[in-house]
Amino acid sequence: MSIRMTRRTALGAGLAVFAIGGRALAAWPERPITLIVPYPAGGGTDIVARTLAPLMERELRATINVVNRAGGGGITGHEAIARAQPDGHTIGMITNDLSFYSHLGQSRLTHRDFAKIGQTNEIVGSVTVKADAPYRKLADLLDAIRANPGRLRGTGAAPGVNWHVGFLGMMDSLRMDPRSVIWVPAQGGTLGHQDVAAGGSEFSTSSLAEARALLEAQRVRTLALMGDARAEQFPDIPTLKEETGSDWTFAVVHGMAGPRTLPSEIRDRLGETLSKVHGSEEFQSAMRQRTIRAVNRQPDAWEAILEQQLTTYGRLLREAGLARG
């Protein structure tokens, strides 16, 4: 009798929790949604978030407040998303910087700590030189690196951070030693391109988006893109594969996510809403204007890519002597 009563009590408790959860999900969102951006206002992640927020507000009929939680190279904001109450009222934009932190010993956070809602875009890396540089094609620059080990300078990011990892992967794919280039740390891709335009470094591997103003001013020239296709805005710039046969691609990837235990019903509704507004001309046009490639990958496909990047980038960082985790 006592066992039967215990089972009935447990079953009743489970049904009660389900009912409470069901009422909560049916009412969601009950208050404004906070969309955390782990980087400062005005950057690529922030632009994507602030473009998406009003479009998603219309669909969800809820207020979405974009909040910048910058600091620690994105760690502060990513941690705030991962540790948020999993009720769907705090979500955020995550990036593939999560593929670096644990390897560099900066944080234990990886993409596995988040419930993916959907990838939103890619900002593709490039190989960019000064407009009057003697390198007319990427092969010319690569030949100069081989002929002058330890003489040419590359830039675009701090060691172990996005565009530097793009450089490491490119060199690895071409079977070239990255130590044959002097890497000049830069506080962001735009400053890296500016350093090249000023003659401080021979090339930058920062994004095409960050080079656009200098390209249009004819102060720099992009030799190749680290993407799987040419950019719509600059169709004459070839890909790395076209120039060298290398399959290496690299981009800073943004997407929307919540804490790992975000209820699947809320995640699915957010994902459906994201996919709908992502396909709108309003969003697509905003991305084209900023030379940002709009990509809406579903959670499982995006998860697989992030898992692969976590492994690949870890290997590159270890071989470069930068891994600590």
pLDDT tens string 265-317: 999 999 999 999 999 999 999 999 999 999 999 999 999 999 999 999 999 99
Residues 156, 161, 166, 170: what is their CA dihedral angle, to the nearest 10 degrees?
100
pLDDT at residue 133 in the model: 98
* Architecture of the domain defined by 126-244: 3-Layer(aba) Sandwich (3.40)
- Assign 25 a pLDDT band (cuts: 50, 70, 90): low
Q: Would you state the pLDDT for residue 43?
A: 87
CATH of domain 32-123+252-319: 3.40.190.150
User: What is the structure's pLDDT at 8?
Assistant: 44
Stretch 94-115: mean pLDDT = 97
Is-contact 87 54, C-beta < 8 A? no
Tokens standing for residue 307: 């898992």
Q: Could you report the per-residue pLDDT of 145-154, keeping only the tens digit for each?
A: 999 999 999 9
Reply yes or no on whether the pLDDT at 138 is more than 50: yes
Q: In the predicted model, is pLDDT for residue 11 greater than 80?
A: no
Mean pLDDT of 68-94: 96
**Residue carrying structure tokens 């697989």:** 304
Question: Do the Cβ atoms of 200 and 154 come closer than 8 Å?
Answer: no
pLDDT given for residue 15 in this prediction: 39
Give whole-number Cα distances, 81 to 75, 250, 312, 318, in Å. 10, 25, 25, 28
- Say if CB 82 and CB 59 are below 8 A apart: no
Q: Is residue 107 classed as helix, strand or coil in its secondary structure?
A: coil
pLDDT of 246 strictly over 60: yes
Q: Residue 288: enclosing H or E segment and its boundaries? A: helix 281-289
295: left (phi over 0), alpha (psi -120 to 50) or beta: beta
Task: Output b/e per residue, 286-303; b: 16+ Cβ within 10 A.
Answer: bbeebbbbbbbbebeebb
Q: What is the DSSP letter of 110?
A: -
pLDDT value of residue 16: 35
Query: How far is residue 253's CA from residue 309's CA, in Å, rounded to a whole number?
Result: 11
Q: Which residues pair with 68 in a beta bridge?
A: 37
What mean pLDDT is predicted for residues 110-137? Answer: 98
Instruction: Give the other-Cβ count within 10 Å of 207's Cβ.
Output: 32
Instruction: Give the helix/strand (H/E) hosting 40.
Output: none
Q: What is the mean pLDDT of residues 13-30?
A: 55
Going by pLDDT thresholds of 50, 70 and 90, the confidence category of residue 27 is confident
* Token pair for 197: 């335009």
Name the nearest CA neighbour of 153 among 124, 190, 191, 196.
196
Q: What is the pLDDT of residues 158-200, one digit of tens each?
A: 999 999 999 999 999 999 999 999 999 998 899 999 999 999 9
Which residue from 99, 95, 61 is spatially nearest to 81, judged by alpha carbons? 95
Name the band, by pLDDT with cuts 50, 70 and 90, for residue 5.
very low
Residue 289 contacts by C-beta under 8 Å, 6 or more apart in sequence? none
Measured at the alpha carbon of residue 72, what is the angle toward residues 69 and 73, in degrees to the nearest 5? Answer: 90
- Could you give phi then psi for residue 240, rounded to 5 degrees? -60, -40
d(CA 305, CA 111): 10
| pLDDT higher than 80, residue 226 | yes
State yes or no: pLDDT of 6 exceeds 50. no
Numbered ranges of CATH 3.40.190.150 in the chain = 32-123+252-319
Looking at the chain, which residues constitute the CATH 3.40.190.10 domain(s)? 126-244
Give 9's pLDDT tier (boundaries 50, 70, 90): very low
Decide: helix, strand or coil at residue 150.
coil
Residue 178: per-residue pLDDT: 97
For 217-255, b where at least 16 C-beta lie within 10 A, e where not — what string? eebbbbbbbbbeeebebbeebbbbbebbebebbbbbbbb
Q: What angle do CA 83, 80, 103 make, to 5 degrees?
A: 90
Can you give the pLDDT at residue 21? 45
- Average pLDDT across the chain, whole number: 92
Rounded CA separation 54/128 (Å): 35
